[in-house]
A and B are shown apart, each in its own frame.
Chain A
């Protein structure tokens, strides 16, 4: 700690503390114009100049960016400081005599008159005072660098390149939010929303949260979704070796810190220009080691968390370069990284279990962790050659082929083949969260978490203990999340950044302030006023039920298709059970009422499985009830009627099942 004196008071500060922060923390006022809490200090307005004496030498420094590195005496109101500020404000006032912020300070320091004749005198009270806040906001918050300065010296002014309307600017209005004088205002006229200002108001709230709090919350701007790898690993949720385990000693090689060194920093890589979260990241100049582009240096878009899980830990690969190369070739070939990873993980477990061998794989060792062979399978898949053709058909087909051709045990493969409704699971271990088991297996399109991600609510925070609570969550979240798809909105800004006081709200998992934002967006874009989250849910419910009806028509819409493989619910193998024996034993004792000490692993496994499968059936009953479906998962006529989708051809689909 460093001992400093500001005016007559002594404080202890950490080395590197900014003088202005130290003063503010201790309620010592220092006037500022260009400073803004969300932006890097620029030190351009010079109003915060403070007299600092170090080793007997005194100088004026800008408090806003002066790092305290040694003991010092600072004076915020010495004669020298006051005289300087007065003269500085006289100069400002001479150019902008009517800007309220300047007038206020000027009066405070006794500079009442615009004493000088200024050739660029501007009487506007909303005049731009060149504080650079907007330019910094565009560069630092949105990373777009759309506005900058044109001209030099007194002709300096905020402008877009070549003074032309730059079409990358989508009017995110972050610049307007930080403007201290109102010189910069943004109106969205292009899309003719009903109430543009209201949209701006809520947009700015979100923009400012992202700019100021993301680095302390998820770090999406820096690391994107890879911030999750470490968290999932810590909570035993990172799918490893085909979901057998939830973490690995080597998983650290795939943590965000590693990606942070590989990602090209500060590249605006949002899905749309102006996205402040910009969570998509890329790796530049990546040299490929295999495949048709071997030796080329390429830009890789990603990886995302799910790619790291699927093309990394789940297939036992912990070399980030293999993950990136798989990412690149999946993108290039048009193959989904999750389906690829989960399908290959299944094939690898089959290989390790003797279902497959080198003869069947065309000579490839498909043990977990064989990164180069994983790449080879991917290239084969794209070329339509070799064993890649088999893996490329997905888990559901592989199960069939392995049983028919190699006599593999269909029951075992059903247990470990992580697919449901024919789609491969996404990359979270759901064993310890009953609600998420439902979130995956009951999802309409297959086991994807974009309907519901309830693991933390359920398993860690224990916010939804009963069947009814879980059923409510499996009603609310699928409806709420479906609404994002209906609106064409991204879900990430909803809960990957949370307001500072979110934890103090009644339902923090819903992020009530953001729900309020979405209600307002909808109303002010369309003019169709909605006021409550139920309005949102009702909009979705029609579509959601319609999706269910579609599944029924296609033959995947009944209860049996809402059951996932047991691997998603609990330990299939002895190895799995034993790796987390303490946890499972305790559950047997506490929840199942069985004394584990007297049982062998196989018996304990069976007892746990029986319990978990019963729990799941109970969950399905509760969820179907909440959704207004029959025990077989069919929307009742009443439900269809209530939602106004009881069209005759819809009724025709469901009727045979009622």
Chain B
């Protein structure tokens, strides 16, 4: 394929547009990791076969897109340009859709989305509440581009921000736009990107060393998949963002540190890099100018701590991925002691839009006035992965400042099975758990931190009333204990000791002294850990102690688990609603349930292991936990 230069970029976009215009419509099959694991590729192939069979393959184009975002409803297919949203598809459903919808003009209702409360069918994607409250910047191309085609990105005005910068902007102007935007690091730290870049430029002047750009794609929070999805959906936006960053700080070398566990993202990234090089968007003489920049992929081996900037760079240098103290910042001396700018995937993905639409436009979204001081608010949008006890599981991008309630109840559709909301955990494992009383707080960097949690990279886990907050704290501390590199004392010994105490409390062996010990240990970790992993690892404990102390007290004083989770503190009983259906008896792994058909069943407490299967399978709501 021909190399693109400043003049021919528009023509390439036009050519792709004209190619697509030949089709009557496009079938956008979600091929994010979630849908792929639910056999989305079979659906894509099935559609192609069906189209061929009905001789429609010249009228409709099947496109495997990146993540659509509504992961809980996958596999998903959207018929464009009408935007008809099909969900939970199986391969066998394809034929029916082609016949009824594409040939007959009638969408197949049973595969369309139904409103949670009213059960009304909502055929158009944009009308579904999950989508309608979102504002897309980083994910602007989700479901609309083929992540494996650079032409598809051209068609969506891709690389036009880079062209604009190369044609009309000085490096300083790029920096100024980023500073004006108030963009704060989406990896969790919330450090203003413009300030970081500017310090790096200063350090380059002082040290006369060549700067390096790094994209952090080592997303390791359980339940979080923002960065993975961005790469899987729209890899070129990350590359374009990095090119702009390189132009601003004068770098010709960039790296993407991506975890090995993201095979699909990795493949798409490799394809994107190859295409970008082939078409003259990376390498020497980018877009026919004198700008040289290339990107190398560095695969991480999957240690959570390698998401920490200094550990990440140690890992890139071939050393053990352990952090160092950051009294000398990476922008001064980072990768191989060179001035290094590290931003995460989502931050980079925002850059092209900021350059395209201007920093001011970006700053107009979100909270606070960041025009003079980037710390004065949180501008732009944030991508969250919304998981847990929530109806609409998936990836959402919302403006900063939106309330937790809007995200959880409007976008997320609330709590399933009519249960009560108890807490939302933000910021990944070392974030905090926030209670219902804070649901109306705005979601921005500073509010979340003040509330004892953090923005983190955007994990959001919703918990209902059948959650034990002590157990939740124990779960996250267990994760962090295993992921702590063990280099510094507070994190290594703190997580170990916290875990020991929390385990004891969930076993009903805790004491009041344990509760103050938890606070003491957490204090040492927060104040004295070497890196942010350790310093924030205590958040799950501190936030649950702060907002759900009554649950701790119940475990310690009354040997009771209010959430009904801690096995040593609960008993399952069957009440007289039982119709004697034998289902729980069949499913019980320890044969603890007895009783004849159509008679009240009884649980033998000696044999019961509190697994809760009886409760899960009971159709008559006859199993109680106390």
Question: What residues make up the interface of A, taking CB atoms closer than 8 Å to B?
Answer: 42-47, 49, 60-62, 65-67, 80, 84, 87-88, 90-92, 94-95, 115-120, 130, 132, 148-149, 151-156
Q: Is B500 an interface residue (CB 8 A)?
A: yes
Answer whether residue B483 sits at the interface, using C-beta atoms and an 8 A cutoff: yes
B289 to nearest A CB, angstroms? Answer: 31
Q: Tell whether, in the assembled complex, residue A91 and residue B497 are in contact, meaning their CB atoms are under 8 Å apart.
A: yes
Assess whether B570 is interfacial by the CB under 8 Å rule. no
Q: Does B573 contact A (CB under 8 A)?
A: no
The residues of B with any CB-CB pair to A shorter than 8 Å are: 303, 320, 324-325, 327-328, 481-497, 500-501, 504, 517, 520-521, 523-524, 527-530
Q: What is the distance, in angstroms, from B503's C-beta to the closest C-beta of chain A?
A: 10
Residues of B within 8 A of A95 (CB): 493
B325 touches A153 (CB 8 A): no
Q: How far is the CA of A123 from the CA of B443 in the complex (A)?
A: 48
- 12 A-B pairs with CB atoms under 8 Å apart are A42-B487, A62-B530, A88-B490, A92-B489, A115-B517, A118-B496, A149-B320, A153-B486, A153-B491, A154-B484, A156-B487, A156-B492
Choose one: B320, B491, B497; the contact of A94 (CB below 8 Å). Answer: B497
A371 CB, min distance to chain B CBs, angstroms: 31
Residues of chain B contacted by A61 (CB below 8 angstroms): 327
- Contacting A118 at CB < 8 Å: which of B493, B520, B523? B493
- A521 CB, nearest partner CB in chain B, Å: 35
Question: Is the Cβ of A152 less than 8 Å from the Cβ of B485?
Answer: yes
The 9 A-B residue pairs with the shortest CB-CB distance in the complex, in nearest-first order: A156-B486, A153-B484, A154-B496, A91-B493, A153-B486, A87-B524, A46-B528, A43-B325, A116-B497
A95 to B482: give the CA distance in the assembly, Å: 17
Additional A-B contacts beyond A43-B325, A45-B489, A118-B493 (8; CB < 8 A): A44-B489, A60-B528, A61-B327, A67-B328, A88-B524, A115-B517, A152-B484, A154-B484
CA distance A94 to B491 in the complex (A): 15
Chain B interface SS verdict (over half): helix
Q: Please, how many angstroms separate the alpha-carbon atoms of A43 and B488 in the complex?
A: 8
Residue of A nearest to B534 (CB): A46
| Given known A-B contacts A84-B528, A118-B500, A153 and B517 have beta carbons under 8 A apart | no
Distance from B536 Cβ to chain A, minimum over Cβ atoms (Å)? 15
Other-chain residue from A94, A119, A153 in contact with B492 (beta carbon distance below 8 A): A153
A242 to B497, CA, bound (A): 73
Please tell me if the beta carbons of B489 and A91 are within 8 angstroms of each other in the complex: yes
- Partner of B500 from A62, A119, A156 at Cβ < 8 Å: A119
Report the Cα distance A156→B303, complex, angstroms.
Answer: 14
Which residues of the partner chain B approach A62 to less than 8 Å between Cβ atoms?
A: 325, 530
For A118, list chain B residues within 8 Å (CB).
493, 496-497, 500
Residue of A nearest to B504 (CB): A117
With a cutoff of 8 Å between Cβ atoms, the chain B residues found around residue A115 in the complex are: 517
Residues of A within 8 A of B497 (CB): 91, 94, 116-118
- Check A44–B530 contact: CB distance below 8 A: yes
Contact A151-B486, Cβ < 8 Å, known A91-B524, A118-B500, A156-B492: yes
Which residues of chain A are near B521, meaning CB under 8 Å? 87, 91, 116
Report the bound CA distance from A95 to B497 in whole Å: 9
Known contacts A45-B489, A46-B488, A66-B327; A91/B483 CB under 8 A: no
Residues of A within 8 A of B488 (CB): 43-46
The listed residue (A45, A66, A88, A148) touching B320 by CB distance below 8 A is: A148
Contact check, A154 vs B489: say whether CB atoms are below 8 A apart: no
Q: Which residues of B contact A91 (CB under 8 A)?
A: 489-490, 493-494, 497, 521, 524
What are the residues of chain A within 8 A of B495 when measuring CB–CB? Answer: 153-154
Min CB–CB distance B267 → chain A (angstroms): 29
In the docked arrangement, what's the CA distance between A87 and B519, Å? 11
Say how far B300's CB is from chain A's closest CB, in angstroms: 15
Complex-state Cα separation, A91 to B501, whole angstroms: 13
Cα of A80 to Cα of B303 in the assembled complex, Å: 33
CB distance from B310 to the nearest CB of A (A): 12
Q: How far is the CB of A524 from chain B (nearest CB, A)?
A: 37
Q: For the complex, what is the distance from the CA of A493 to the CA of B486, rounded to whole Å? A: 37
Knowing A66-B327, A152-B482, the reply to whether A116 touches B517 (Cβ < 8 A) is yes
Within 8 Å by CB of A46, from B327, B501, B530, lies B530
Chain B residue at minimal CB-CB distance from A129: B489
Whether A65 lies near B501 (C-beta < 8 A) is no
Alpha-carbon distance between A151 and B483 when the two chains are bound, in angstroms: 10
Contact B327 A116 (CB under 8 A): no
List of A residues within 8 angstroms of B529 by Cβ = 46
- The answer to whether A44 and B487 have CB atoms under 8 Å apart is yes
For B497, B517, B520, the residue with the greatest tally of chain A CB atoms inside 10 Å of its CB is B497
